[in-house]
Amino acid sequence: MSTSLNRIATGVHTSLSHESANGHVTGSAIYLDDMPLPSGALHAAVLLSPHAHARIKSIDVTKAEKAPGVIAVVTAQDIPGHNDIGPIGKNEPILAPGLVEYAGQIVAAVAARTLDQARAAVKLIEVEYEVLPAILDLAEAVENKLLVANEIHIERGAVDDTLAAATHRLNGEARCGGQDHFYLEGQIAIAVPGEGIDMQVYSSTQHPTEVQHGVAHLLGVPYSQITCEVRRMGGAFGGKESQATIIAGIAAVLAHHCRKPVKLRLPRDVDMLATGKRHDFLFRYDVGFDGEGRILALDLLLAANGGSVMDLTPPVLSRALCHADNCYYLPVVRLHGMPCKTNTVSNTAFRGFGGPQGMLAIENVIDEIARHLGVGVDEVRRSNFYGVGERDVTPYGQVVHDNIIAEVMAELDAAKNLADWRADIDAFNETSPVIKKGLATMPIKFGISFNKPELNQAGSLIHVYVDGSVHLNHGGTEMGQGLYTKVAQVVAETFQIDLDMVRVTATSTGKVPNTSPTAASSGSDLNGMAALNAATIIKERMTKVAAKHFDVPAKDIVFADNRIHAGNRSISFKELAEMSWQQREQLSAAGYYKTPGISWDFKTNSGTPFYYYAYGAAASEVAVDMLTGETRVLRTEIVHDAGKSLNPAIDLGQIEGAFVQGMGWLTCEELVWDKEGRLRTHGPSTYKIPGSRDVPKVLNVRLLDQPNRKPTIFRSKAIGEPPFMLAISVWLAIRDAISSLSGHRLAARLDAPATNEKVLAAAEDMKARLAGTA
């Protein structure tokens, strides 16, 4: 019966525009900075430490307090509750408490009638520092075991013995840089005091619950007094997970003192100086392998630069360790993670969350093995891929049950024949002495779920009104990734009503409590399921009403195409909504979901942390000028596994965007600190993110259209982070081009990011090695 009825056109598995598309193209979508401020609202500005490590001997705010328009100046001692917003650890202050641990740390804040007055007053704050020696280099922190958290260790088999017995053995060191999020909308919050000790906080945050908790701690009030709301962010990428709480916290403390609404919006330079970034890493490896490049044992150190405080470094490092296998079976392995402490800004969540660094480490090793043996990198990869039903246990003990990497690689080869492509590149290089081309592939396997099991839960709240329109709310946040659109599609699909009947509303701790951050690519997996649950509860109630109305069994009621059918008879969704109200059926429900079957033992660093894996593969062709180090990506082919995509248009955008952002991390984005530990790249003039000209000239993306084997939301797969790591193909292709100088016998000594300077140095290094002078 139902097969003859039309499914709505705006349900799942459909390429629909972003729910705010019209608002975005007309400028009417409201971001925090666009919100009209309540009357009497004040503006805030912050004072940053110029020193990387110093004791604060005194702070004199008297001049600042007397400056025109100033209502309040606050330092650490003015925080009524606890000056600590650590998401995992303790002692992570929002205002430096007598000690500054990085240049750029916020020392004081001012609220004034105008922004200019606030910023002028900040300059009148007098701070006396006693400068202390600073640790700025990650290697120095490794040598001295300076840590922000406990080390993480994963080990399987007799590593030292197997290494000693291996036919081939290589060791070396590599590094990769950090990355600024450079969300176009900088960090911003507006705190509005309410009755008594209530506080409403509007925050550009991926984690409204953490803002709620952070503000409550700072003010010393119960969580129930604080409500955090966010409708949308102008990009976040992980940078507004823990960091947003700093900004919201300062706004709230000022609002508390002034009893007025306070807006704090960091200027771009302050944003880049004061807030955390992607972790730079140092890797040391010792690998034993056979004549085919099959890894027999790997001993790998992954040292993450955590910066000044713990922040999210432990889970970032943990994810790095859990992705240092990428797609490869490591039979005997030692992975050691060091969460290092330096006097630099706290590094934090950033798309991939350690995964990119872990994968870069193993890909570096694979590349070295291939050059050492004089065989193709892809051949070495194939020798090491996880098996199906054998050689399928990860170093952390999870069985890779859904391995489709060989299939994904075959799809990539079908998209463009890799052997022919390689032959074209080699032919080009033979006749081109200065410009050398490189080609590399990059397979990925990315674990989906938060490593910490308790974060894998979500809630939703749905109301059906008597006119048939639907109010949708869930705990996920919208940062441009299309989450609100996808979850609305889930609800439209469930009720079989047009998408424009579903109104997505701002994420608020007052509607859905105790939420997890919108992170780990899990947004639609978790919130989509929670919304499905709520919609299904209401639909079942409405079905009962319809069955009674038509006098048929409930199983004969079909929701399709905005109507509710019983055989040849039907009524509209609106009519049924009104009927349900009349019959006193509740048209509101809270939904809930928790990911089944996942576990993690923090003592042994083992378990089944991931519900499933997302796969993908990319091949990139680059051209490198060996006299200048300039690089261009000429062509990239991508095959990516989004399961049965909820919205192919959104997923394609995520793949392209993640890939290009990954390219930025690995090529043009370089963070430079001076000898005093001051970041010198704190604006778009000095920190280069990819622009329109940096996108590969040819970029073809295909979705591997296969349902997730796990019963995820309509069998889709998470999309936010996994494609980021496909960009490692670009970094490997640049290495391949440099390696071509040696006839691919020597691996390029090239770390990330492969800036023009570093590429040139690596090319010169290669030439010197070939000439026997290095």
Binding site for another protein (CB under 8 A): 17-18, 20-31, 33-34, 48, 50, 113-116, 119, 181-186, 232-237, 267-270, 273, 479-482, 649-650, 652-654, 656-661, 683-685, 689-693, 695, 699
Q: How far is the CB of 479 from another protein (least distance, A)?
A: 6
**Cβ at position 216, least distance to another protein in Å:** 28
Residue 631, Ramachandran bin (φ over 0: left; ψ between -120 and 50: alpha; else beta)? beta
d(CA 428, CA 603): 53
CA 667 – CA 759 distance, rounded (Å): 9
Please spell the DSSP secondary structure of 500-538, one letter per residue: GGEEE--EETTTS-SPPPS-TT-HHHHHHHHHHHHHHHH
Least distance CB 241 / another protein (angstroms): 15
Bridge partner residues of 287 (DSSP): 170, 298
**What span, in angstroms and rounded, lies between the C-alpha atoms of 752 and 132?**
31
Examine residue 753 and say whether the peptide bond preceding it is cis (omega within 30 degrees of 0): yes
The least CB distance from residue 503 to another protein, in Å, is: 18
Nearer residue to another protein within complex by CB, 25 or 768: 25
- C-beta of 166 vs 646, nearer to another protein: 646
Between 236 and 497, name the residue whose CB sits nearer to another protein: 236
How far is the C-alpha of 690 from the C-alpha of 669, rounded, in Å? 8
User: Please, which residue, 375 or 699, has the CB nearer to another protein?
Assistant: 699
Q: How far is the CB of 181 from another protein (least distance, A)?
A: 8
In Å, how far are 436, 437, 742 from 426, measured between CA atoms?
9, 8, 12
For another protein, the closer CB: 468 or 684: 684
CB 595 within 8 A of CB 454: no
**Count of Cβ atoms closer than 10 Å to residue 418 Cβ:** 18
Q: Active site includes 575?
A: no
User: Which residue, 186 or 193, has its beta carbon nearer to another protein?
Assistant: 186
- CA-atom Rg of the chain in angstroms: 27
Smallest gap, in angstroms, from Cβ of residue 279 to another protein?
A: 19
Of residues 405 and 519, the one with the C-beta less far from another protein = 519
Report how far residue 171's alpha carbon sits from residue 286's, in angstroms, rounded to the nearest whole number. Answer: 4
The encoded tokens of residue 222 equal 């119960």
Phi, psi of 337 (to 5 degrees): -110, 130
What is the chain's length? 774
On whether the CB atoms of residues 649 and 481 are closer than 8 A, the answer is no
Q: Which residues pair with 563 in a beta bridge?
A: 560, 572
Beta-strand (E) ranges in 595-724? 599-601, 606-608, 612-625, 631-640, 698-703
CB of residue 269 to another protein, shortest distance in Å: 5
Rounded to whole angstroms, how far apart are CA atoms 558 and 196? 50
Which SS3 state, helix, strand or coil, does residue 694 take? Answer: helix
Specify whether the CB–CB gap between 138 and 344 falls below 8 A.
no
Catalytic residue among 241, 478, 493, 721: 721
Q: How far is the CB of 244 from another protein (least distance, A)?
A: 15
Using the minimum distance from each CB to another protein, give the nearer residue, 211 or 652. 652
Say if residue 389 is exposed, middle or buried (CB neighbours under 10 Å; 0-12, 13-18, 19+). Answer: exposed
CB of 770 to another protein, least distance (A): 35
What are 696's strand-pairing partners? none
Which residues are catalytic, by number?
721
